[in-house]
Every structure is written in structure tokens, then in C-alpha cells.
Amino acid sequence: MNDVTAFLTELGLSERIRDDVQRAAQSRQFIPELNRNPDEAFYEFFYANPIPQMGVTWSEYQDWQNWDFKHQLLPLMKAWAETRWPAGPGTVVDLGCGSGLDLCYLARAFTLKQFIGIDSSAPARVQVEGRVRKLGLSNVGLSIADAFGDSFRLDGGPASLRAGCDAVILNNIMDSSFPSARALGSKLRKVRQLLRPAGTIWLSLTPVLATEAEMEQCVTAACRRTHLSIVDHGRFDYAQGTRQVRHLWWSLGCLALPPRPWWQFWR
């Protein structure tokens, strides 16, 4: 049993629901928002309400479905952390932490780091808190906020954020930015403000609103806009029911910012 299997089993996710493809098709009729751009009301439903005739929330069901996905994603993220994070204490932020699987897995592996999960959904936070308690983690904090909203400010967050963090995780939360390099760049600019000068970003997502080629071009252009470098990148296919789905990931690093024009020093 590898560490990902042990981790998911400890959280009760080793049980595979039979006839999962048929059950998923049946449950989709109850939440047609899955095929649209989700809003806050959808996420409240996604994390809090049981799927009729199934007895679990859609979030819990998705975690079961993601067994193969997490077995490929989590080792990649752990290798990224071992390579890119500085040794010793520090802070890592997971923006859009959702149900907290990535957050909790890394927090258990890197106990000297303080992890902060940020998500706009209160029911998602309740789910993460339950998992933190179940795993006995003492290095995880949570905050309910829209990290890309106008009200989110660095000086309004936790004190450990104001000092700058070692890494930011962006896993499957940037779909709505594609294929616009301007929209993605605007979000990455906010993320960059959370980082220390030598900080790193994990960006990964499954193509939904753009093709794989469009997404590659978009990330490259957005990084140029925000003075980030693509340190490493890759892709993998995972099983979701009977389908094979492609997932893309990038490890981003900070480049030196250009000097400010003299007229900006008085602003």
C-alpha cells in the first residue's frame, strides 16, 4: 500500500461505489449546474446536500470517483514540494482548497509547514475541518474568502500570509480564465503578491472551456504578463468511470520584477 492509498483509505475513500457510471448519470439530473459555469449557490449545494437516493454529497462522491486522479496527482505535487519548497518552517496556501484532499495530504507530509486552505464555500470548510480532525493534523488553518474577489487583500488575511508564503496551490480552480491570457494573468498577479521572492506556484487543471493547445498558449502568455517562469510542466491521463481524461499541470517560479517607473514612487 503506497502513501496515497493509505491516506485515502484513512479518510474512508477506499470503498469504490459499484455501477459508478450509471449512478453518476442518474445523479446528474439533480444538479444540471455541473454543465454550466458554477456560482456560489452551486457550491453550497455541491458540498452540503446529499444526492437523492445515494446518501452522500456530490463532493464526497467526486472524491470516490477521483481515486485514479489523486493517485497520479498527489505524488507529482509531493515531488514538486520536495524540489521547490525551501526546507524548514514556512507557509503554503491552497486557494480553492475544496474538500481538502490535496491540502491534507501535503500537510501530513510536510509537518514543519503551516498550511492555509482558502475557499469561498462554508460547507467546504466544514468538510475540510472534519478531515483535519480525522487525520490529527495541527498545521492546517482555514479561511472562507474569495481569493480573486475585489475584497480580498493581503493585509486583510492571516498574519502568516502578510509575511509572504513559500508556495500557492491552484488546482482545478482556474477554468473560467481560459482561454484568456489577460484573465489568467490578472489572477496570477494576485497570487504572486502572496509569495516570497523565491516562492512557487502549482497550477493544474483538466481542460473544460479550452483545448489543450489553447491552455498551453494561455499559460505561457499569462506568465509573461506576470513575470513568472514555467519551471516544469506535464500532463497525465486518468480514468473517470469509463472515460480517460487529460489533466495538465505547471510549476511556476517568480522572476525578478522590473524596476518601477520613477513617477510611480509617489503613488
Q: What's the whole-number mean pLDDT along residues 164-174?
A: 92
Q: Is it the case that residue 78 has pLDDT exceeding 90?
A: yes
Question: In the prediction, which pLDDT does 1 show?
Answer: 61
Q: Is it the case that residue 191 has pLDDT exceeding 50?
A: yes
Kindly indicate the confidence band of residue 152, based on its pLDDT and cuts at 50, 70 and 90: low
> What are the extents of the domains in the chain?
67-255
List the single range of 114-128, 148-162, 200-214 with lowest mean pLDDT. 148-162
Q: What is the pLDDT of residues 9-28, one digit of tens each?
A: 899 887 555 455 556 555 55
Question: In the prediction, which pLDDT does 265 show?
Answer: 47
Question: In the prediction, which pLDDT does 14 show?
Answer: 73
CATH of 67-255 among 3.40.1360.10, 3.30.465.10, 3.40.50.150, 3.40.50.720? 3.40.50.150
Q: What is the residue-averaged pLDDT of the chain?
A: 83
Kindly indicate the confidence band of residue 158, based on its pLDDT and cuts at 50, 70 and 90: low
Predicted TM-score (pTM) of this structure: 0.86
Question: In the prediction, which pLDDT does 154 show?
Answer: 46
Q: SS3 sequence, the chain?
A: CCHHHHHHHHCCCCCCCCCHHHHHHHHHCCCHHHHCCCCHHHHHHHHHCECCCCCCEHHHHHHHHCHHHHHHHHHHHHHHHHHHCCCCCEEEEEECCCCCHHHHHHHHHCCCEEEEEEECCHHHHHHHHHHHHHHCCCCEEEEECCCCCCCCCHHHCCHHHHCCEEEEEEECCCHHHCCCHHHHHHHHHHHHCCEEEEEEEEEEECCCCCCHHHHHHHHHHHHHHHCEEEEEEEEEEEEECCEEEEEEEEEEEECCCCCCCHHHHHC
